[in-house]
Chain A
Amino acid sequence: MKKMFLIFALVVIIVSTAGCWSSTEVKNLAIVSSVIYDMDDENNYLIKLNIVNPSAIGSADTGGGGNKKAGITLDGKGKSYTEALNDVSANVDRRLFADHNKVRFLTEKVATKDYAVINFLDFIMRDALTDESALFVVIRDEDKDKLYNSTATGLSNLIGTFLDELATTQQKYCSSMTHITTLDFIKANYADGKEAVAGTLFLEETDNIPSQNSGLEDQEIQYKIVYEGLALFKDYSLVGYMNGKETEIYNILTKQAKTGIVTIPKDEDFAALTWNKPKAIIKASYNGENAIFDIKIEGELTIDKMYIYNTSEEPFSDIMKTLKKEVSEQMKTRTSAAITKAQDYGSDIFGFGAMLHAQNPKAWRIIASDWEVYFKNATFNVECDFKINQQGEINKPFIK
C-alpha cells in the first residue's frame, strides 16, 4: 500500500512539475541573435529582431553559406514591448527563442526618454525566461537601420555573435571596451551610490571590407563597428558618453582593466609603453563638508618603442625614470579628466558613493540623500605610480 502510494506520488510529481507542455522541437525555433529596442515619436514601442537563418550558417553538410543571408530582420510595433513582440510573432513561422540572444541594443531615443528605460527594465524583469547574460549596448539613433543591413561582422555571421565574441575575447587586451551584460545593468540600477553604465558603439564608414560570413554582398557593406566607450546613465536616463580613453580609466578604477597602451609624444614622434596589472586603491573619507577620495593607481609597464628617447648623453636609468614619470603624469591627468567628466554629468558611474558607504558608513548616512551634489563637489586626489618592469631585454637590447 505504501509502495503504491509512493509510486503514485512519484508519477504525480513528475507530471505536475515536468512541464511537458513546454517541449519544443528545435526545428520549430526561430533563434534570436540580437534585438534593437526602439520607440517612435508617437510613443509606440518598436522592436527589431535579428533572427538566425540556420540553413545559411548550418554545417558543412547542409551546404550552408553561399549567397544566403545569415540573419533575417523582423520588425514589430505596439504600445508595449510585449505587443511589439506579438506583432513580430505574427510574421514568423517558428517560435521565437530568445534564450540565445547575444546582445540587447537600446537606441539613444529610448535611453534618453523619460520612463522609457524603466519600462524596458520592467519588461525584461517580468519575463521569467529572460537570458540576462546578453550584452547591453546603447546605439546612436542614426545607426539602428544600418546595423543589420550594411555593417561588417568580422569572422562571425551575425552582429550578435560578433559583438559577443568581441567583448568576451578582446576585453582582456583592449581596455577601451566594456563587457556589460543586461544583468550588470540591472544590478547597477538597484545599487546605492553607483550609477549604471552600458556599452556603446558607433558605425564608421569604411572601404576596406574583409571577406564576410554574413552572406551580405560586398557592395552592401559600408560600415564597420567601433565598439568602444561607455554610455553614462543617471536616474534611468542616458546623460552622455565616454570615449575609449576615458573608458580605460573607468575600467582601471572599477578593477576590470587588464592592459592598455600609453604613448608619450616627443619631437613629433612617440614613445609607446604597455601598462598592465593596474591596481587602484581608493580611500574615501568625509570631512564634514566634502567627500574626499584619495586615489592611488599602481601598475607595471612594458616598453614597446622608445627610440626617440635614446640619447647618448643621458644614462639609460635616467631615461627609464623620465618615461616612468611621464606615464604616471599622463595617467594622472587622464584619470582626473574622466572623473571630472562624470562629475559634470552628475553620474557617479565609478561607484565612489558605494566606496564611501563601505568605508565610512556613518558619513554615508548623512550625505546619501544628496549624494549627487556631494559627488559633484567631491575632492579627488589622484596619484599614479607606474613601474617599468620589463625593459624588453631578452638579449642585448638594440638601445642602451
Chain B
Amino acid sequence: MDSAQYAELFLTESREHVSAMNHALLALEQAGDAGGVVAGDQVSAIFRAVHTVKGMSATMGYTAIADLSHQLESLLDRVRRGALQVSPQLMDLLFRSADTLEAAVEEAVQGRDAPPGTASLLDALRTFSRTSGGMTAIPAPTTGSVWSVEVPDGDGVGIRVRLVRDTPLRGVRAYLVVEAARRLGTVTAISPSIGQLQAEQFGDDFALRLVTDDVEGALAMLRSAGDVADAVLAESAPEMFDLLALEHAGPGLVPGGGSAGPRVQHHVRIDLRRLDALMNLIGELVITRGRLVQLAMAADDVALTETVAQASRLVGDLQDEIMQSRMVPVGQVFDRFPRLVRDVARTLEKQVAFTIEGTDIELDRSMLDEIGDPVMHLIRNALDHGVESPAVRVAAGKPPQGRLTLSAFRDRSAVVVRVEDDGRGIDRARVIARARERGLIHGNGADLTDDDVVKLITRAGFSTAERVTDISGRGVGLDVVVAGVRSLGGSVDVRSTPGRGTSVTMRLPLTLAIQRSLLARVGGETYALPLTHVSETVELTPETLQAVKGREVLVLREDVLPVLRLRELVGLPRSAQADPEQVVVLETADRRAALIVDDLTTQLEIVVKQFDGVRGGSTLFGGATILGDGAPALILDVSSLL
C-alpha cells in the first residue's frame, strides 16, 4: 500500500476534524458568552474530533500530533467531567491548540517536524491541567491512549492491555494477564508473542484476541489483574482506512449550531486527478459527439440518425453525472471563515455578527478551490476597512456590533457569492488620493461618479490599505481579488454607500472546464459567448438603437444599454444595413451591455481550452474551444469586455 496515499487521506480527514473542532469551539464560546452554561454537546464534539485525530496520527506514526492530541484530550476529558470550568483562558488555549494541531498535521504530512510552538503549547496544556485542577500527573484515560501494538488477526474480540508504567517484572505481569484471559475463554492470538512478552520485549501495552461469551466481564477481570493500567476493547480499524465508508458521517460529526447539522452520505473518496481525467475525456467525447451528429445528418440515414441521437443523449447524461460528481457545497470552503472572523475581529477589537447563507450551494471542485482566497481577502477587508470599532459605530448612531454576511446563491448558470458589511463604506476622498498617488488618474477626481471611484479600487496596482497590517495588508487588495475572479471567468461588482456599508458580489461559472455557451457569428467567423454572462437575446430593430451623447445605446424595456458590435471588436467591417442582426445582452456582476452580432447559431456545452496568445493579440478572449466540425472558436471574455 502506498503510504503517500494514506497521508493524503489522513490530511483530508484531519482537516475535517480540525474544522469540526473549530466549529464546536466557536459554539462553545458563544454558549459561554450567553450564560456561562457549559455546552456538553460541544465539549463532546471537540473531544471526539481530537480523539479521532489522535487515533489516526498514531496509526500513521505522527507521534508529535498524537502527543499533542493526547494532552488536549486529557484536558477536554476533565472539562467534560465537570472538573474544569470553561473560561476565556481555557478557550484561548483550546483555539491555540486547534491551530497548532492543524499546522502540525500539515507539517507531518510533508514529512516535517511539528511547528514551532508545539512544545510550549504542550507545556501550557500540562500547566493548565495542574494549576486549575490540582492534578499533577495526567494518567492515560481509558479511551484515549496511544497504543503501540496492532491487534493480531484471529477469532474473537481484540483486547488491548496496558500495564502500569514502569512496573517491575513486566514480562511476568503480562504473562499473568494472558493466563487470566485463558481462564476466561480461548485466546486465539497474542501480539507480541507470548515469548516476547515474557522476555519483556514490548512497550507498555500488548494485544490479544479472546473468544468469550462475556466480553465486559472479561475486561473487568483483566483490569483487576495486578499492575494493569487499562484493558479495553480494540477499536475497529481507523476511519481513514475505510475507503468505502458507507453511511460515513464525515465532517457532519459536530452539530454545528443547527444549519451545519450531520449529513448522512453515501460517499467514496476519489482522487481528484481521476475526476479531472474523467472531465477531460467527457470533454473530448462531447466534441466528438458534435462531429458525429453533423456526419449523421449529412449521411441522411434514418437508422444511423436515430442511433447517433441516442448515443448523443447518453453522452449528455454521462456528462451531467460527471459534472455532478465534481460538485461540492461551498460550505466546505465557507466553514473555515467563522473562525477567521472571530480571530480577526478580536485582533482589531471590533464586534461582528457573522452570518453565512447558502452553504449548500454547489460549485465545481476546481472552482471551489480557487474562490477560497478571494473570499478570505474580502472578509479580511470588510473587517479591517469596512466595519468600524464599536465606539465609532455608536458615535455614528449604529449598534456597536457590526454585521458581516457571506452568502451564496444560484442565478441561472452562475453562482453568486457575496460579502456584505454594514461598515463605513468606501472612502471616496481616500480612493481618489490613492489613485492619484498611483498615477491611475490625474486631476482632483471631482468629475468622477461614485461608480468610477469604485472601479478605481478594482484597477490593477491599487490598494486602499495605507499601511501593511497583518489583517488585510499583505499587498492583496480588491484589485488582486478582481483579477483572480476574472481569470476564473467570473466578474466582480462592488457597491458601497458611505456610512452604510459595502457589498462585493462575485459572479462565477459553475465550472472551469466546460461552459454552456451561445455561438455567435460575424462575417463567417464563430465566437462563443459563455451563458454565465448572457442575460437574454433579442432581435435588433432600428428603433431600439439610439444615440446618447454621441454613443450608441440600446433601449431595452426600461434599461439603456451601451452598444458593442462584435464585428468592430474582432476587426471586421460593419455589415450592410440590410442584414438582420441579433442582440445579446451581456452582463457581469455589475455591468450590462448589448452586443450586436450577425447571427446566433446554437447553444451548446463547450470545452474550454487554453491557447498561446501572440504579442499584440486581443485580450478579449479567455480561451478557445473546438467546434463540432473540428474548427477552433474563440471564447469571448465578457468581464474584460465590459
Co-complex (A, B): no
Spell out B's residues near A (CB within 8 Å).
Answer: none
Spell out A's residues near B (CB within 8 Å).
Answer: none
